[in-house]
Amino acid sequence: MESQNTAVNVNAKMLLNHAKTLRLHTGNLVNRSRLKKKCPSSPSEELQDCIRATLSEWSSTTQLPVEELPVTLDCSIPQATDAITPEEREELKVSVKLFLCEADESSIRDAVEMACQTLAVCQLDSVIIAPPGLPEGDSQTLAHLQPAWEKLEALVRCQKIAAIGTSDLDKDLLEQLYNWAEVKPSSNQVNLASCCVMPPDLTAFAKEFDIQLLTHNDPKELMSAATFQEALQESTQDLNVANWRLEWVLRYSIIVKSRGIIKAKGYLVHARKDSP
């Protein structure tokens, strides 16, 4: 059995060594018993556990293709997918938060397309954008937000997304975005770790312009490059992970509208390998 596992691990290593792009889907976390046994202390820890478990399961079952090795590697657990049937679509709300790990707005369309494809839907009900972190001492400005927002607006126009929202904007920045944007933000997430009570000026502005204020506990950086590389390394020993970088992470929730319960949740992860 051990030699079989070793052979399988060699297969996974060969595939990862050859690939330039990694697309990972954790599957429905509501159903994944191995992950349910342990309660993660934070969204970062949850994501790390999910990546490790998915890669570990994938590398223990993966076979080398008969033809040439793929440049884009799809790493998922087939039985854990969350495809939505046309009959149940009306009853469900698909909410997404997209964490950009680098300032490449072109990946927004790719992330939305991958989510629609994975979940078998034509449109996401809502997408909240979390832009990449800024260097120490820099503050978020409208100029930082505009390129990503324009990409989201284009996806609303072509009906890939129904509503778009923001994360961690104070009243002034939310107002600037609202006044500038053609497609207005429908929501703004506030991290209650940074303020225990919703700021009154933000609450008043959101109420006046019908913007939903939501709370979250996501860290500024959901996953560092080093943590991602560590998760990659653990599932496939002796793999050179130094050139792999995380491009984006998309977290989705599928909610039964009438009952307000989460039917499914999971992560899509997209990483790229730089040429050495």
Non-local (6+) Cβ contacts of 256 within 8 A are: 91, 92, 263
Question: What SS3 class is residue 209?
Answer: coil
Phi-psi region of 27 (alpha: psi -120 to 50; beta: other; left: phi over 0): left
Amino acid at position 215, single letter? T
Within 13 A of 36's CA, how many CA atoms are on the CB side?
Answer: 9
At residue 120, the pLDDT reads: 93
The pLDDT averaged over each successive group of 10 residues in the chain (276 residues) is 51 86 89 60 87 86 81 80 87 96 88 95 97 83 95 97 96 97 97 79 96 92 89 78 92 94 93 85
At residue 4, the pLDDT reads: 41
Q: What are the structural domain ranges in the chain?
A: 2-273
**Percent residues over pLDDT 70 in the chain:** 90
Indicate yes or no: pTM above 0.85: yes
The predicted-structure confidence for 21-72, as pLDDT tens digits, reads as follows 999 998 888 876 555 556 667 888 889 988 988 888 888 877 787 788 899 9
Looking at the DSSP bridge assignments, the partners of residue 216 are 191
At residue 130, the pLDDT reads: 94
Place of tokens 């556990």: 49
Distance from C-alpha of 10 to C-alpha of 5, rounded to nearest angstrom: 9
At residue 2, the pLDDT reads: 40
